[in-house]
């Protein structure tokens, strides 16, 4: 089977309802993957431990560096040009750069995906990596000050499994059936950390994600009537 060379890019309207991030999709209003996996009790405990002001500052810094690094990756994969130097965030991009240069062909950057299992999200990248054959890889970029392990890494694995299943649902007509996921963590002034998920991993993780999804929907019913605007372009 020949490689798929282009797929549509969707941008779903995103909003917040009662503190939950949700997307308006062609299938209706769907909670985001990150909302489903968020542990509010742990988050509240962490904020209390750090203090509200310190916690806000940490979150803002992490969000800013993540956004800048993601934007830099998208710029390079779109234009071949690296982003302008940034004193604070450059060490993270420098970590990620060797990986970006390995990517053979990006198909999708920052695109909305959803699933009939009742969730949605935005995946960072779908691309062909060396040795991929006729099916691409879904890639999730992260930033961290130290290597990611334990429950945090497992949460990222659940995210990627959910994104893969959603991407396969959205792009089934294009012949997309992703069987590999990569979590790539940019570490300041260190080589990137990479974690690979194969087909068996993805299926097992997705079963656990569905349990969390079912529990979330039982506790958080969403309104049925909501506008469903979507915009579409070709990636």
Beta bridge mates, 20: 17
Helix (H) or strand (E) holding 65: helix 52-79
User: What are 100-141's pLDDT values in tens digits?
Assistant: 999 999 999 999 999 999 999 999 999 999 999 889 999 999
Phi, psi of 101 (to 5 degrees): -75, -10
Q: Helix 52-79 crosses helix 40-50 at what angle (to 10 degrees)?
A: 120
The reported pLDDT for the residue numbered 39 is 62
Q: Helix 52-79 crosses helix 90-100 at what angle (to 10 degrees)?
A: 40
The reported pLDDT for the residue numbered 178 is 97
Extract the residue ranges of the chain whose pLDDT is less than 70. Answer: 1, 39-59, 223-235
The reported pLDDT for the residue numbered 48 is 61
The reported pLDDT for the residue numbered 110 is 94
Segments making up each domain of the chain, as ranges: 9-220
Alpha carbon distance 194, 124 (integer Å): 15
CATH topology of domain 9-220: Trna Endonuclease; Chain: A, domain 1 (3.40.1350)
Edge to edge, what strands does the sheet with 181-186 contain?
105-115, 119-128, 137-143, 181-186, 193-197
Alpha carbon distance 147, 153 (integer Å): 9
Concatenated DSSP letters of 128-184:
E-TT-TTS-EEEEEEE-SS---HHHHHHHHHHHHHHHHHHHHHTGGGT-----EEEE
Q: What is the pTM of this model?
A: 0.90
Token pair recorded at residue 149: 């392990």
The reported pLDDT for the residue numbered 2 is 75
């Amino acid at each position: 089977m020949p490689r798929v060379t282009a797929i549509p890019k969707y941008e779903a309207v995103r909003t917040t309802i009662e503190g939950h991030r949700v997307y308006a999709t062609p299938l209706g209003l769907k909670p985001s993957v990150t909302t489903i996996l968020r542990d509010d009790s742990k988050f509240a405990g962490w904020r209390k431990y750090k203090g509200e002001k310190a916690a806000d500052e940490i979150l803002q810094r992490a969000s800013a560096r993540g956004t800048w690094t993601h934007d830099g990756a998208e710029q390079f994969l779109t234009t071949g040009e690296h982003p302008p130097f940034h004193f604070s965030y450059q060490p993270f991009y420098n970590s990620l750069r060797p990986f970006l240069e390995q990517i053979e062909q990006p198909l999708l950057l920052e695109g909305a995906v959803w699933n009939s299992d009742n969730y949605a999200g935005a995946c960072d990248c779908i691309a062909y990596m060396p040795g991929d054959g006729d099916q691409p890889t879904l890639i999730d970029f992260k930033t961290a000050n130290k290597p990611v392990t334990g429950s945090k890494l497992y949460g990222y694995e659940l995210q990627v499994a959910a994104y893969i299943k959603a991407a396969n649902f959205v792009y089934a007509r294009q012949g997309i059936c992703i069987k590999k996921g990569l979590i790539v963590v940019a570490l300041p002034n260190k080589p990137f950390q990479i974690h690979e998920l194969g087909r068996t991993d993805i299926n097992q993780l997705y079963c656990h994600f569905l349990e969390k999804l079912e529990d979330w929907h039982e506790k958080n019913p969403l309104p049925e009537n909501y506008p469903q605007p979507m915009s579409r372009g070709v990636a």
